[in-house]
Amino acid sequence: MADSIMIAFAGIGLLAIASQWLAWWIKLPAILFLLLAGIIAGPVTGWLDPDALYGDLLMPVVSLSVGLILFEGALTLKFAELKGIGKVVRRLVSSGMLLTWVIIGTAAHYMLALTWEMAMLFGALVVVTGPTVIASMLRTVRPNASIANILRWEGIIIGPIGALLAVLVFEFIMSRTAGGAVLHTFIIFAKVVGMGTLIGVTFGYGMGLVLRHHWMPEYLHNMGTLLLVFTAFTISSVVVNESGLLAVTVMGIWLANMKQVPIEDLQEFKESLSILFISGLFIVLAARIDLRELLAVGPGVLGVLLVVQFVARPVTIYFSTLGTDLTTRDKLLLSWIGPRGIVAAAVSSLFAMKLAKAGYAEANLLVALTFLVIFFTVVLQSFTAGFLARWLRVCDPEPKGVLFIGANLVARGLAQQLDRHGFRTLLIDQSVDYIRKARMLGLRTYLGNPLAALRNLDLAGIGCMMAMTQRSELNMLAAMHYRNEFDRNKIYMLQTMQESMATERHVVSEQQRGQMLFGEDINFGMLADILAKEGRFRSTRLTDSFSYDQYLATHGNTVIPLFVVTDKQDLVPVVAGRRLQPAKGSTVIALCRLAEEPCEEQSAT
């Protein structure tokens, strides 16, 4: 028995990592492959039986996992992002959610012949958009900041609120026979909101004080926060049933917006845990699907799916965006993107079990219908949202900007030059002094650890990463850390003086460190020394009568070519092992070795 349990856990882990890898390789949301893996492992082959494997622990584990997922997402929500979109988000998670619920519930009643109770409960289960699916979709679609922020906030905030709506509908159904259903439902609503908010604020503020004042050693921050999240969820849920999701969401938002609280390491740790829990959860929940229920749904389900995508979402977006500054194009893309995800899957499974125990024959049908909505919305929107965003022209421009790891003298100088040529730049550093100097120059900055800040960075318009700190190990770690965010050929490093003097056996491979900036003989110390001695940058435009070879012959060793800006406004860094042949119309950005060199921007003739 013990061996079979270990084999099952190992198999779930292997299926999870295989699904995540396949999703990364094909550039589609992982939820698709996790769902298929669960169906194959469960109802198709019969290899995985989650109810037998977990027993009575199944639903508590599912609930705690969903709570952690919502907490991790809430850690990314900053109130500053609500500027200009707060009204839309508030409407989407309140009146907009109720409108979606009524439309879908009504369609389910008439098209699937469900009772009004089951139809409205199904509608409540699928009002929740999937925060993890949306995050994956946004990385591919790259919509403008307003659309992206609205979808992120909606996806996370609507999770606990949608679950609360499902609880209220469920409680109404259960209490109808006893009478006083409306009053009972209102009391449940007040208890869930009150307890969830109280526990969330209390635990969020308390954990924030611990982190701010360093009352706990750093190596316990991640584990301590994880246990507090589980504790907050458990206390809230035990005192008032189903209030835990709201509690951990409020806790995460409170921590994210509390001043002087370092949460970067927490976010990275929780993101890894979320991937683990999401992967395992979807496989386990999909394995519980009854294929007979899916086959028995009937053709009416197609009508419900079309209502979800083409009626409920557009109508909700229309009313939620009335009187706002959003353009018609923005509204059209918002109307298209609203995939369902793990919260809907988990909550539907939870209530199906409760309804089945209460003797409702249609209970298992709710799970099958919910998973069909998840699969339909994710597949349709994943394959079409990118094309629609480009057609509507609401995408961020092609990412040609540069993320600088380091805000030192060299990075600031290079960022200034690229800014002048129209390239978006962002400098990240842990040094308060470096960041202050960069901000005084009008440069975009982020103060924090480069290895823990990825989730908080606004990388819109950023297409490559250049590591140029004085610490070679930090540059190398940054190159590896950001490889999933940028293509491998878009990762660059400026070697330090120590690296330039290292023997061949000590040099890190190009695959590990990225491409070497500006040539094998150029290092950080050399550029910093030139700039400290009042070296200047030169921008020279090439023409028919002044080619790149003539440029090099004219200036010789007095300049160090750094970048080429093509006539199509593409940025081409000078790197070791690659000979440039810029065409006419290109601009060469170089650093003059001598202060007396005429280094002002010029057009060579």
Name the H helices within 342-455: 342-357, 363-392, 409-420, 432-440
Side-chain half-sphere of 285: how many Cα atoms within 13 Å?
Answer: 33
Lowest mean pLDDT, pick from 156-160, 245-249, 381-385, 448-452: 448-452
The answer to whether 367 and 288 have CB atoms below 8 angstroms apart is yes
Q: Answer yes or no: is pLDDT of 604 > 70.
A: no
Q: Distance between CA atoms of 112 and 110, rounded to whole angstroms?
A: 6
Lowest mean pLDDT among 5-19, 73-87, 90-104: 73-87
CA–CA gap between residue 303 and residue 115 (Å, rounded): 17
Q: What is the pLDDT of residue 397?
A: 67
- pLDDT reading at 34 higher than 50: yes
**pLDDT tier at 250, thresholds 50, 70, 90:** confident
∠ CA 440-441-442, rounded to 5°: 90
Q: Quick one: pLDDT at residue 308?
A: 93
The DSSP bridge pattern shows strands 559-565 and 571-573 to be antiparallel
DSSP, collapsed to helix, strand or coil, labels residue 466 as: strand
Contact by Cβ (8 Å): 251, 232: yes
Average pLDDT over residues 475-496: 80
CB 366 within 8 A of CB 348: yes
Give the CA-trace dihedral at 315, 320, 325, 330, to 10 degrees.
-40
- Relative orientation angle of helices 2-26 and 264-287, to the nearest 10 degrees: 110
Identify the H or E element spanning 182: helix 181-212
Q: How many helices (H) and strands (E) does the chain have?
A: 26, 11
Q: Find out whether 193 and 208 touch, Cβ atoms under 8 Å.
A: no
Do residues 423 and 417 lie in contact, with contact meaning Cβ atoms separated by under 8 Å?
no
Tens of pLDDT, residue by residue over 208-235, are 888 888 888 877 777 888 888 889 989 9
Per residue in 166-189, pLDDT (tens digit) is: 878 877 777 665 556 667 677 877
- Domains of the chain with bracketed CATH: 56-392 (1.20.1530.20), 401-603 (3.40.50.720)
Pairwise CA distance, residues 342 & 484, whole Å: 23
pLDDT of residue 234: 92
- Per-residue confidence (pLDDT) for residue 157, from 0 to 100: 81
pLDDT at 273: 67
Give 510's pLDDT tier (boundaries 50, 70, 90). very low
* Structure tokens given for 338: 């609203």
Rounded to the nearest integer, the mean pLDDT of the chain is 80
Rounded Cα distance between 153 and 138, Å, is 13
Percent of the chain at pLDDT exceeding 70: 87
Q: φ and ψ at 461, to 5 degrees?
A: 80, 0
Counting residues of the chain whose pLDDT is more than 90, the rounded percentage is: 9
**Burial of 501 (C-beta count, 10 Å sphere; 0-12/13-18/19+):** exposed
Which residues does residue 180 pair with via DSSP β-bridges, in sequence order? Answer: none
Beta bridge partners of 591: 537, 560
Other CB atoms within 10 A of residue 86 CB? 15
Give the mean pLDDT of 69-96: 78
**Contact at 8 Å (CB) between 126 and 43?**
no
Q: What is the pLDDT of residue 513?
A: 58
Number of neighbouring beta carbons within 10 Å of residue 566: 13
Could you read off the pLDDT of 417-448 as tens digits, one per residue?
888 888 888 889 888 888 888 888 888 888 87
| Paired strand residues for 572 | 564
**Residue 370 confidence (pLDDT):** 87
Amino acid at 369: L
**What is the pTM assigned to this prediction?**
0.69
Question: What is the rounded average pLDDT of the residues 476-486?
Answer: 79
Give the pairing type, strands 602-603 and 571-573. unpaired
CB 221 within 8 A of CB 211: yes
Residue ranges of alpha helices (H) inside 264-359 are 264-287, 291-295, 300-307, 313-320, 328-336, 342-357
**H or E segment at 488?**
none
pLDDT score of 456: 64
Please give the average per-residue pLDDT across 304-320, as a whole number. Answer: 93
Cα gap 197→244, rounded to integer Å: 10
Between CA 192 and CA 175 the distance in angstroms is 17
Rounded Cα–Cα distance for residues 481 and 467 (Å): 11
Question: pLDDT-based confidence at 270, cuts 50/70/90?
Answer: low
pLDDT in tens, 108-162: 999 988 888 889 989 988 888 877 778 778 777 878 878 888 888 888 788 778 8
Q: Any idea which residue has 């010789």 for tokens? A: 556
Cα angle, residue 72 at apex, residues 69 and 77 outer, rounded to 5°: 125
Banded pLDDT at 600 (limits 50, 70, 90)? very low
Span of 58-67, 109-118, 516-525, 595-604 with lowest mean pLDDT = 595-604
Q: Three-state DSSP class for 169?
A: helix
The angle at the Cα of 557, spanning 551 to 561, to the nearest 5 degrees, equals: 55
Nearest to 430 by CA among 414, 448, 455: 448
